[in-house]
Structure 1
Amino acid sequence: MAIPLILALLTALIISIAANPSPVTFIFGDSLTEVGNNNHLRYSLARSDFPFYGIDYTNRKPTGRFSNGRTISDIISEKLGIPSPPPYLSLNPDDDVVLKGVNYASGGAGILNDTGTYFVQRLTFDDQIGYFEYTTKVIKKKIGWQNGTSLLHNAIYFIAVGSNDYINNFLQPFLPDGQQYTHEEFLRIIDMKLVEQLTRLYLLGARKMIFLGLGPLGCIPSQRAKSSTNQCLHHVNEWVVQFNSKVQKLSKVLNSKLKKAQLIFVDTYQDGIDLVENPTKYGFKVSNISCCQVETRVGGLCLSYAHVCNNRSEYVFWDSFHPSDAANVVLADRFFARLYAPSNSSTNSSSNHME
């Protein structure tokens, strides 16, 4: 897709947000954006409803967010001037609150339905879309087909999924995908599935969709632990770059095929690398290990008996997989910088990473 068209989509989205002081947002994804859905899955092993999660959140209590504080979706909501949408499974599905937006994200979720199977229960991206489909019916029943359709067309859809398809699928030596497929073959499978899922969202009424690209997964503590020198795994990061490129191209194709679709791919990979490689630039001191001292070879979550650092705002990573609250603030700031980059600059970050 040509840069002018991408800028036109960005401009349309910005105008839409400015025109609506209380935008409706629907959030899909994994543990990076979950706000508590897995708390309601009785047998899920992908959960964070125990100390020390939430130690820096409201009332210092765990809520099911995989962070010491807020997720990136919470901070994005704050920047939009709206409450963070509640977890879908915490609601009565027919509740009026669905008119203001819902968070369907689930820790362990992937694009592929076999991703994260060892967590027993989680909402795959397909599951999340299925719940959203029910939500669209509730919305139209409450406010009528025309108003409901208008609400869905004007809502903003944040999608952050794909990390688990690597961390809890392709990179696991005891799971079949990484053994039977080359990375190129795996990417083709991801691409076909994602086309199906994004098209399904479109047919359900989604128009303004923002897909957050993957960060440098090779640099998260759980992957660094596989290096004898605790370095980033460059081959994993190379795969992430290829994934982002594939989704970027997919977005262009869907925008050309789906009438009035405004699918925007936001590549924050370089922001993540910069945060890891130059932490002091952003006020951090530690970017190679997590604040919560966890056993990276077994799980990697911040269990209630773990030791937690006191200077949490100085750490990029909270546990073996997830950024700290402070790092999420930086990533959310960079995300908005991408969306609001000046359109008259040929070298701004949007054109560099969203061409």
Structure 2
Amino acid sequence: MKISNFFIFSFFLITGFLWGIRVEGLRRHHHHHHHHRHQNNHNNPKSYKNDQKDHQFYNFKPTKMFVFGDSYVDTGNNRKSMANSWKQPYGLTFPGKPSGRFSDGRVLTDYLAKFLGLKSPVPYRWMKYATNRLRNGINFAYGGTGVFNTTVPEPNMTTQIDFFQKLMAESVYTRADIEQYSLFLLSLAGNDYGAYLANGGTVQDIPAFITSVVNQLVVNMKRVNKLGAKKIAVTALEPLGCLPQSTILNSFQQCNATENIAVDLHNSLLQQAVAKLNNETMGSTFVILDLFSSFNSVLASKGVQGSTRFETPLKPCCLGISNKYSCGSMNVKGEKMYTVCNDPKSAFFWDTVHPTEAGWHAVYTNLKSTLTQKIL
């Protein structure tokens, strides 16, 4: 571990307060590269509808997806009283009104489900209203949460897995369902780090805390594997230093390299851990969705080929009118305390933490070339 680099984390003393003060839903990613034999051909990378593929050539065809984590994958679990994701202008692009997603539209879960040819799994909190959709799996992710408790009083990843285990105990899903047909997605976008700093965690101890976060993530991955999961995808931490909550300090001009060094440590430890898990389980049960590289690639090239360009990729579409407000804020008179850009499709970031639907589509398109080899 690069403990010798801990002094670089001194920057966190200055920017720490920016992390997760309003962490209604944060972020997650992983570092990890496989070299693969197949190439998937998509005639039209722009079309959400064309993102399905022929699966009959592969041994593993997931028909269910079980999702755990935070706002990068949450599709509506947070309580309406607590989360901006249930306020205007969230959901502006899709479905046209707030749906509990921390974006103007679709998020990573929706694109991965489409890739598998599935409907996006129903949020756990709404499962009793959509029993006909349980065959697609369930989304247990809550915006703002982490592997440990955060500043958001919603179920952490351990509790989310408890919910899933309870459904197995009640025979809502069988072990055969899990072993043969299910993809598990674990998302960790950084809320643990925001909470650590908000709760007075010291700069010197950040490397040790990063280690504890990755270790707990590994415990969670092993646990779902023991419950029968044969394919477990975990996100690499995205470049936190590129989120607008960090780049606002320089008018959204450049990423914060110091914060991204901390992210590098998280991702390298995760990569080592996943390699070890795969050695122990024989095969590629555990895979990393490398959001770090995908975000960086899209931000650097201001989009993906054949898609909308993000001319100012670090600048969010929806922003509070001052640092007292955030996207979705209203004052006591019911007036909007935020501004929204003219075209969310031209923005990579929706708010100070989360991508737009167009941003997620670009990230997904960047990931897509490796998804077939990693997941199917």
Task: Write out aligned runs for 1:203-218 (5 A).
Answer: 203-218=226-241
Query: Which piece of structure 1 moves more, 100-109 or 182-191?
Result: 182-191
Distance 1:15 1:137 in 2: 30
Distance 2:327 2:131 in 1: 33
Question: What is the DSSP-based 3-state SS (H/G/I as helix, E as strand, rest coil) of the residue aligned with 1:302?
Answer: coil
Q: Report the structure, 1 or 2, having the larger helix content.
A: 1
The TM-score, its normalising length taken from structure 1, stands at: 0.80
Q: Any conservation in 2 of the 1:221–1:296 contact (CA below 8 Å)?
A: no
Distance 1:4 1:319 in 2: 29
- Over the aligned positions, Cα root-mean-square deviation in angstroms equals 3.1
Q: Return closer, same or farther for 1:261/1:311 CA change in 2, 3 Å cut-off.
A: closer
Distance 2:203 2:278 in 1: 32
Identical positions, percent: 25
Deviations 1:168-219 (A, max 9, x none): 224x3x4133x27523211221132122211111122212001121221101
Q: Any conservation in 1 of the 2:142–2:155 contact (CA below 8 Å)?
A: yes
Distance 2:322 2:271 in 1: 32
Partner of residue 254, structure 1: 277
Q: Return closer, same or farther for 1:194/1:235 CA change in 2, 3 Å cut-off.
A: same
Distance 1:295 1:224 in 2: 16
Residue from 104, 107, 127 that aligns with 1:91: 127
Residue from 157, 161, 165 that aligns with 2:188: 161
Task: Write out aligned runs for 1:213-232 (5 A).
Answer: 213-227=236-250, 230-232=253-255
Residue identity matched to 2:200: P
Partner of residue 67, structure 1: 103
Residue from 330, 349, 364 that aligns with 1:332: 364
Is 1:234 the equivalent of 2:257?
Answer: yes
Distance 2:34 2:351 in 1: 39
Q: Any conservation in 2 of the 1:28–1:104 contact (CA below 8 Å)?
A: yes
Count of aligned residue pairs for this structure pair: 319
Is 1:245 the equivalent of 2:268?
Answer: yes
Residue from 285, 291, 295 that aligns with 2:311: 285
Deviation at residue 98 of structure 1 after TM alignment: 3.1
Task: Write out aligned runs for 1:188-199 (5 A).
Answer: 188-199=211-222
Deviation at residue 101 of structure 1 after TM alignment: 0.2
Deviation at residue 159 of structure 1 after TM alignment: 1.4
Deviations 1:220-242 (A, max 9, x none): 11011234775311111111121
Q: Return closer, same or farther for 1:102/1:266 CA change in 2, 3 Å cut-off.
A: same
Partner of residue 35, structure 1: 75
Q: Any conservation in 2 of the 1:88–1:103 contact (CA below 8 Å)?
A: yes
The TM-score, its normalising length taken from structure 2, stands at: 0.76
Residue identity matched to 1:39: R
Structure of higher RCO (CA pairs closer than 8 Å, 6+ residues apart) = 2
Question: What is the DSSP-based 3-state SS (H/G/I as helix, E as strand, rest coil) of the residue aligned with 2:85?
Answer: coil
Q: Return closer, same or farther for 1:331/1:190 CA change in 2, 3 Å cut-off.
A: same
Partner of residue 164, structure 2: 132
**Which blocks of at least 5 consecutive residues in structure 2 are unaligned?**
1-31, 40-53, 331-335
Deviation at residue 340 of structure 1 after TM alignment: 3.3
